[in-house]
């Protein structure tokens, strides 16, 4: 048994096909006819462009326009003067053979990308490798496709380039395994889109198998079993069957609106941290965005995002949701979330300190930039604004006053905004839950933030392993506060949602439905299962 990184879920049982890398020997040979060498390069680039365009067409048909866009960047690389142009210069300046020139320039580019901190950028080195290998294979006449003729094939390779993955014949290839790669590599992303199981980062899987070996791929746990015994085979056949049945059932729920058996409509929404995450939420059939954690727009950078940048992100999400509700939470920084460019006081208990709405009311300069961006974006969809960490009515009133200030500014500047924005609060401090009935008279909605509500109610730090045994969503005190919050909202005719992790917790959902929670917001991958639980409930 070998353990790697689970890159794409699912189970496969089949026979191994090892993808051999073509052997190409590149020498330092000098050349005399520079013009001829450059022509060889142009021919190889033209061939590569044609091949990539074909692969792109196949990818669009199989995985959709957006995912296939990676091949546009490959074509752009072929046309990039800094990349292929530099190869020409290399031939010219050093009278070096064309293969060596391609290798040298690709090597220089790879050194830059592979040393980047950002995992995503590091993975983009794969695109450079993919394109330069293709040029070299075309130059040496060694370019060949993956010729797979047998059904139930598990492709094993040192690495699979995005174009290798896109060329896999889905009727024959049921899984793939690679020595290297991570969850965010293009091949892993494509495997998830193609819905074939994949395990990557297996180190030496190419040395552990022979062509034709029987293997089990467990893309759920990231495990590979080579030459399994009968009992293991039987066990995995069962797991595979159950998994496929479950997936099939869940998929039928994508366009289903969740109602309990007694007819109560329950909204199932998604949580996002970046504007691009909206697509995963839509693919999983969400009714709404229940929480956009905007602090992620402020993180991993060294300055504040401008009003314009924020406006573009909010507009993107609103437009993509096509009129469905989008709850955007104002900046919730502090606690465990720090910004390198915003000095914060040293505190003994940062979770009880200067954070979220407390910080925003103190730093109106920062708060107003976000509110202006939100107001401006509001005309592009169904926006609801939510303030985090509200402990008293006064904070909500103060926050609304800043909104009014921004509205007035925009009016004076002749900039449009919607008059129909709902303003709500997160109920994540026990005080707010206890005072829910009072608060509900003033706000448009509640969303219960159980991640914090549980830690504050039980005095059990959500970040501490040592007290995690106390951090119990089903503690009667927590449940009572949740019930009070929902009832408080309903008494005032307002809706109540939940966007903490508990909303996607299979064990908690039935209780929350029973309490009358109107909206459940969770990570995209939990949405379909949550719908299934809700529609099976009385
Ligand atoms: C919560 O506290 O439940 C919540 C959703 O917010 P965060 O996890 O961002 O604190
Ligand atoms: Mg919180």
What is the Å distance from ligand 2's center to 442 Cα?
A: 21
pLDDT at 145: 72
Residue 447 Cα: closest atom of ligand 1:
5
Going by CA atoms, what residue is nearest to atom 7 of ligand 1? Answer: 451
How long is the chain? 538
pLDDT at 123: 66
What is the Å distance from ligand 1's center to 487 Cα?
A: 21
Other beta carbons within 10 Å of 300: 10
pLDDT at 187: 76
Residue 335 Cα: closest atom of ligand 1:
10
Please tell me the CATH code under which domain 34-140 is placed.
1.10.274.10
Going by CA atoms, what residue is nearest to atom 3 of ligand 1? Answer: 449
Residue carrying structure tokens 């040298």:
104
Alpha helix positions (H), 155-228:
162-167, 186-194, 205-208
Region(s) of the chain under CATH 3.50.30.10:
2-20+145-234
Residue 388 Cα: closest atom of ligand 1:
6
pLDDT at 217: 98
Residue pair 192/170 in contact by the 8 Å Cβ criterion = no
Give, for all 538 residues of the chain, the pLDDT tens digit.
999 999 888 999 999 999 987 788 899 999 999 999 999 999 999 999 999 998 888 888 877 777 788 888 899 999 888 899 999 999 999 999 999 999 999 999 888 887 776 666 776 788 898 899 999 999 998 877 777 889 999 999 998 887 788 788 888 999 999 998 877 677 787 787 778 999 999 999 999 999 999 999 999 999 999 999 999 999 999 999 999 998 889 999 999 999 999 999 999 999 998 898 899 899 999 999 999 999 989 987 889 999 999 999 999 999 999 999 999 999 999 887 888 899 888 899 989 999 999 999 999 999 999 999 999 999 999 999 999 999 999 999 999 999 999 999 999 999 999 999 999 999 999 999 999 999 999 999 999 999 999 999 999 988 777 888 999 999 999 999 999 999 999 999 999 999 998 999 999 999 999 999 999 999 888 899 999 999 999 9
Residue 449 Cα: closest atom of ligand 1:
3
107 is catalytic: no
Determine if ligand 1 sits within 6 Å of the CB of residue 499: yes
Determine if ligand 1 sits within 6 Å of the CB of residue 450: yes
Determine if ligand 1 sits within 6 Å of the CB of residue 293: yes
Kindly state the tokens that stand for 279.
Answer: 């697509």
pLDDT at 119: 67
509 phi and psi angles, rounded to 5 deg: -55, -50
pLDDT in tens, 327-347: 999 999 988 788 889 988 889
499 is catalytic: yes
Determine if ligand 1 sits within 6 Å of the CB of residue 332: yes
pLDDT in tens, 9-21: 899 999 999 998 7
Catalytic pick among 15, 42, 186, 360:
186
pLDDT at 325: 98
Q: Encode 449-491 in three state secondary structure.
A: CHHHHHHHHHCCCCCCCCCHHHCCCCCHHHHHHHHHHHHHHHH
Class of domain 258-535: alpha beta
Determine if ligand 1 sits within 6 Å of the CB of residue 457: no
Determine if ligand 1 sits within 6 Å of the CB of residue 428: yes
pLDDT at 396: 98
User: CA-to-CA distance for 108 and 419, rounded, in angstroms?
Assistant: 54
Determine if ligand 1 sits within 6 Å of the CB of residue 462: no
User: CA-to-CA distance for 158 and 238, rounded, in angstroms?
Assistant: 30
Pick from 451, 461, 505 the residue to mutate for probing ligand 1's pocket: most ligand atoms within 8 Å of its CB: 451
Catalytic pick among 360, 435, 496, 499:
499
473 phi and psi angles, rounded to 5 deg: -60, -25
Judged by its nearest atom, the ligand closest to the C-alpha of residue 449 is 1
Q: Which residues pair with 43 in a beta bridge?
A: none
Determine if ligand 1 sits within 6 Å of the CB of residue 505: no
Judged by its nearest atom, the ligand closest to the C-alpha of residue 390 is 2
pLDDT at 232: 97
Residue 295 Cα: closest atom of ligand 1:
9
What is the Å distance from ligand 2's center to 216 Cα?
A: 41
Pick from 274, 355, 450, 500 the residue to mutate for probing ligand 1's pocket: most ligand atoms within 8 Å of its CB: 500
Looking from the CA of 43 toward its CB, the CA atoms found within 13 Å total 13
Determine if ligand 1 sits within 6 Å of the CB of residue 290: no
Architecture of the domain whose range is 2-20+145-234: 3-Layer(bba) Sandwich (3.50)
Residue 293 Cα: closest atom of ligand 1:
9
Determine if ligand 1 sits within 6 Å of the CB of residue 272: no
pLDDT in tens, 443-470: 999 999 999 999 999 999 887 778 889 9
Region(s) of the chain under CATH 3.20.20.60:
258-535
Q: DSSP letters of 390-419?
A: --SHHHHHHHHHHHHHHHHHHHHTT----S
pLDDT at 129: 87
């Amino acid at each position: 048994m070998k353990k790697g990184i689970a890159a794409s879920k699912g189970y496969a049982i089949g026979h191994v096909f090892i993808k051999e890398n073509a052997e190409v020997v590149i020498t330092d040979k000098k050349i005399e006819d520079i013009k001829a060498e450059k022509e060889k390069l142009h021919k190889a680039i033209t061939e590569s462009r044609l091949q990539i365009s074909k692969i792109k067409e196949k990818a669009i048909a199989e995985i959709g326009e957006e995912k296939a866009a990676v091949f546009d960047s490959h074509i752009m690389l072929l046309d990039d003067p800094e990349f292929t142009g530099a190869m020409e210069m290399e031939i010219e300046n050093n009278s070096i053979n064309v293969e060596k020139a391609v290798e040298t320039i690709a090597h220089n580019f790879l050194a830059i990308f592979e040393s980047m901190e950002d995992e995503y950028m590091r993975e983009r080195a794969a695109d450079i490798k993919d394109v330069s290998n293709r040029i070299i294979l075309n130059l040496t006449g060694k370019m060949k496709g993956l010729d797979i003729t047998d059904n139930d094939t598990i492709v094993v390779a040192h690495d699979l380039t995005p174009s290798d993955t896109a060329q896999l014949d889905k009727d024959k290839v049921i899984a793939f395994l690679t020595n290297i790669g991570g969850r965010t590599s293009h091949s892993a992303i494509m495997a998830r889109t193609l819905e074939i199981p994949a395990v990557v980062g297996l180190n030496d899987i190419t040395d552990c198998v022979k062509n034709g070996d029987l293997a089990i791929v467990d893309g759920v746990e990231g495990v590979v079993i080579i030459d399994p015994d009968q009992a293991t085979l039987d066990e995995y056949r069962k797991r595979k069957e159950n998994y496929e049945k479950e997936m099939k059932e869940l998929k039928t729920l994508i366009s289903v609106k969740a109602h309990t058996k007694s007819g109560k409509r329950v909204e199932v929404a998604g949580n996002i941290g970046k504007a691009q995450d909206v697509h995963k939420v839509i693919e999983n059939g969400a009714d709404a965005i229940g929480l956009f954690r905007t602090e992620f727009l402020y993180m991993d950078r060294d300055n504040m995002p401008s009003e314009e940048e924020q406006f573009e992100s909010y507009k993107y999400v609103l437009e993509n949701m096509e009129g469905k509700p989008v709850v955007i939470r104002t900046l919730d920084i502090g606690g465990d979330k720090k910004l390198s460019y915003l000095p914060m006081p040293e505190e003994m208990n940062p979770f009880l300190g200067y954070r979220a709405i407390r910080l925003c009311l103190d730093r109106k300069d920062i708060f107003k930039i976000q509110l202006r961006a939100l107001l401006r974006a509001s005309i592009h969809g169904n926006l609801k604004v939510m303030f985090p960490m509200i402990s008293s009515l006064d904070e909500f009133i103060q926050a609304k006053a800043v909104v009014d200030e921004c509205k007035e500014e925009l009016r004076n500047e002749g900039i449009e905004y919607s008059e129909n924005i709902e303003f709500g609060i997160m109920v994540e401090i026990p005080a707010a839950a206890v005072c829910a009935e009072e608060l509900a008279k003033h706000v448009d909605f509640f969303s219960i933030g159980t991640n914090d509500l549980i830690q504050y109610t039980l005095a059990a730090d959500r970040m501490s392993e040592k007290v995690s045994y106390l951090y119990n969503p089903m503690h009667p005190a927590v449940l009572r506060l949740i019930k009070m919050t929902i009832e408080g909202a309903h008494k005032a005719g307002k809706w109540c949602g939940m966007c903490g992790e508990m909303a996607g917790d299979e064990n908690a959902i039935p209780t929350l439905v029973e309490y009358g929670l109107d909206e459940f917001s969770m990570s995209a991958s939990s949405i379909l299962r949550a719908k299934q639980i809700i529609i099976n409930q009385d």
